[in-house]
Structure 1
């Protein structure tokens, strides 16, 4: 495997995992430690085909990608300050810390709506892994889970999906089913790596089949 981790790096990652598990312990939006662990495993799979990537930066960023997200924390600036201090305490170099923040502050779907951010190869891998976890059966479960948590309506055929969104309009509530059209169906075609593109195909197909069946059942068809 590319860039095998040193024992020190493995110890740092274990510490970070504990930090993240504690930070997300009360999350009920689908951004919990189970989501994080899946993103890490998906990133590991992509890494097998990206020998030039820095594995340590990928894994650290995959673990940390949600701990400063406003979907999860109430005070983003405080979360950023706390995370920087924590990474300093783990003896990450200034360069490593900046590489991680360049990823986790710029990889979200919302942040790339109006202006596509330029990500490092490591950032592209983490972004792909996170987006893969929004697809397939897990993606369906997480979408309904998040929508219920936010008290969003499940479906209303009279409300059309939005086609042009910026960062602010994306945050406005909409129906759970519209989220498939506004985001999830689009992810397959914006994966960065060839590995993720291939992995996304089957998961995307599953989403399409599900929505077709859902919409039939919604009107009482078998």
Structure 2
């Protein structure tokens, strides 16, 4: 049943994306977040996987650009769309609010505290996508899409200038990504986040050595 539901959810998301998602928020991203959810849920216990599946697949169904002025509304709009869709299916009506809260609270920009196990797990599962090798790939992809550079060749670490992750992708590590582990809601999520952040730090060390 879960595989059937996942396929239906994915089809609905693709319909709203008009078959043209961005490379950092595509179907593979949704599936990885769902896998992360399951991994964290197994370690933490006490989560409703039926709620988590729907929340994971629909969490980015409304995907506003990073530089959109209403970017902070994306998770709320995604939650509302997911709730409307689920209400028309055989999904348990008493669980729809839990799905909507998890989706709304997952976002950095929304600034909403997760209040349920599912919301905490989804937030951690999505934030793990910003770390490790995959996080670096997505970071550089988004920076390029927004017209930013790789790094400041004269001062790559921003030691003598203000950090600006809109101008330089590498600045995003200090501005946001290295801080993610501190924001994790679960013990399993925090452990995975720290591992990913350590890998990114080692990549930056190698990069600095190569660029001199």
TM-score (norm 1): 0.78
What is the deviation of 1:155? 1.6
Residue 14 of structure 1 is aligned with which of 7, 12, 23?
7
The question of 1:210 aligning with 2:206 is answered no
1:53, 1:36 → 2: CA distance? 19
Tell me which residue corresponds to 1:192.
Answer: 185
Q: Deviations over 1:50-105 (max 9, x none)?
A: 32111111111111111124238999587665443322221334432221111111
Number of equivalent positions:
200
Residue 177 of structure 1 and its aligned partner are, at CA, apart by 1.1
Match of 1:4 in 2: none
Q: What is the alpha-carbon distance in structure 1 between the residues aligned to residue 79 and residue 190 of structure 2? A: 31
Whole-angstrom distance in 1 between the partners of 2:86 and 2:179: 34
Gaps of at least 5 residues in structure 1 are: 1-6, 163-171
Specify whether residues 80 and 191 from structure 1 end up closer, same or farther in structure 2 by C-alpha distance, changes over 3 A only.
Answer: closer
Once superposed, which parts of structure 1, at least 4 consecutive aligned residues long, lie more than 6 Å away?
72-75
Counterpart check, 1:62 vs 2:61: no
Q: Tell me how large the CA RMSD over aligned residues is.
A: 2.6
Task: Indicate the residue corresponding to 1:104 in structure 2.
Answer: 103
Aligned to 1:89: 88
In structure 2, relative to structure 1, the CA distance for the partners of 1:42 and 1:78 (3 Å cut) is closer
Cα 1:118–1:130, aligned 2, differ >3 Å: closer, same or farther? closer
Q: TM-score, with normalisation over the residues of structure 2?
A: 0.82
8 Å contact 1:135–1:204 — kept in the other structure?
yes
Structure-2 separation of matches of 1:22 and 1:211: 38
